Chain A
Amino acid sequence: MTVDQVWAALEEIPDPEIPVISLVDLGVIRDVAIDGDRVHIDFTPTFLGCPALEVMKRALEDKVTELGGEPDVAVIQDDSWSTDRITPAGREKLREAGFAPPAPRAAGATTLVQLQSKAFRCPYCGSRETKLENIFGPTPCRSIRWCESCRQPFEQFKTI
C-alpha cells in the first residue's frame, strides 16, 4: 500500500452533504502518511459545527480498512481549512451540479457589501446579474442567491 493508493481511494469518498464532490476535492484531507500497516490521516473539518464530521471521519476509517490498513484519523481543529482549499476540479464539479463555488478569500473577511455586489456568477447561465436572497441557505455553508437573467434561485458556497 502506497500513499498514492490511499489518496486515490480517498478520492472515491463523496462529501456526505454534497456528494458530487469528494473529500479530497473539498480539501479536508491535509496529509496522508504510512507507517507499516498504520495509515495516518490528518483531517481538517470545514465548519466546526459541521454535523457531517463524524460521518466523514468514519468514511475515512472504513476506506483505509478496505485497503487493508489500520486507520488513524486525526481531526485537526485549527484554522487551516478555508474554502480556498477546494481544488479547481472540485470547484468545477460544484458548478456543474448547480452550486456556485465560493469566491476566493479576499484580503480579510467577507463583507455584506461584497455579498451584495455583482461579483457572483450564476452556475446555470453564467450571468453576473445575481443578488443575495438570504445569507443562510439549506446548510450553514451556503447562501441563497437569485439570478436576474435566467430567473431562478441558486446556492452560493460561502467563502470562509
Chain B
Amino acid sequence: MDWAHTIARRYLYEEADRIRLDALRKSDDAELAGLAAKIDREEVYHRMHAEMWAARLRDEPRFRNAVDELWPYALGVLEPEQRAELARRVGLDVVAAKERGEHTPELAELWNEMTEVRRSVPGAQW
C-alpha cells in the first residue's frame, strides 16, 4: 500500500466524518448528540493530523492520484444530501458515489489479530 494513498484516505475520511459528526451533534436524541459532541473534542486532533499531512503532500502526483481514486468512496461515506458540502470542503466536484457495501479482506485480517487474546483465552477478564 502506498503511503500517499493512506494519507489521502485518512484526509478524505476525516473531512467526511466531520460533516457526519456535525449532523449527529444536532440530533434530537440527547444521548447521541452528547456522544457526538464528546467524540468531536478528540476528532479535532485527528483532523489536524490528517490536514497537516494533506497540506504537505498536496502537490505530489501520487497523493493527487490517490485522492482522485478514493473520491467516489469518500462521497459514499455520507448521505446524498451531505455530499455537496464535502465536495465544497475538499474542492472537488460531486461525482457518482461508490458504496462498497462490503468490507475489504483487510478487515478479516485485522479482526483476527485484534480478537486473538479473547479467542485464545475464552472468558478472560481484564
Residues of A whose CB lies within 8 Å of any CB of B are 47-49, 77-79, 81-82, 109-112, 115, 135-136, 140, 158, 160
A139 to B93, CA, bound (A): 38
Size range of the chain B interface in the assembly? 10 to 19
Residues of B whose CB lies within 8 Å of any CB of A are 31, 34-35, 37-42, 44-45, 48-49, 51-52
Q: Which of A111, A112, A160 is B41 in contact with, Cβ under 8 Å?
A: A160
A16: min CB distance to chain B, Å: 13
List A contacts of B51 (CB < 8 A).
112
A37 to B37, CA, bound (A): 35
List A contacts of B49 (CB < 8 A).
135-136
Given A111-B48, A112-B51, A135-B48, A47–B34 Cβ distance below 8 Å? no
Given A111-B48, A115-B48, A135-B48, A79–B37 Cβ distance below 8 Å? yes
**Does B45 lie within 8 Å of A136, measured CB to CB?**
yes
List B contacts of A111 (CB < 8 A).
48
User: Could you say which of A112, A135, A136 has the most chain B C-beta atoms within 10 Å of its C-beta?
Assistant: A112
Q: List 24 A-B contacts (CB under 8 A).
A: A48-B35, A48-B38, A48-B39, A48-B42, A49-B42, A77-B31, A77-B38, A78-B31, A78-B34, A78-B35, A78-B37, A79-B38, A81-B38, A110-B44, A110-B48, A112-B48, A112-B51, A112-B52, A115-B48, A135-B49, A136-B45, A136-B49, A140-B42, A140-B45
**Does A109 lie within 8 Å of B38, measured CB to CB?**
no
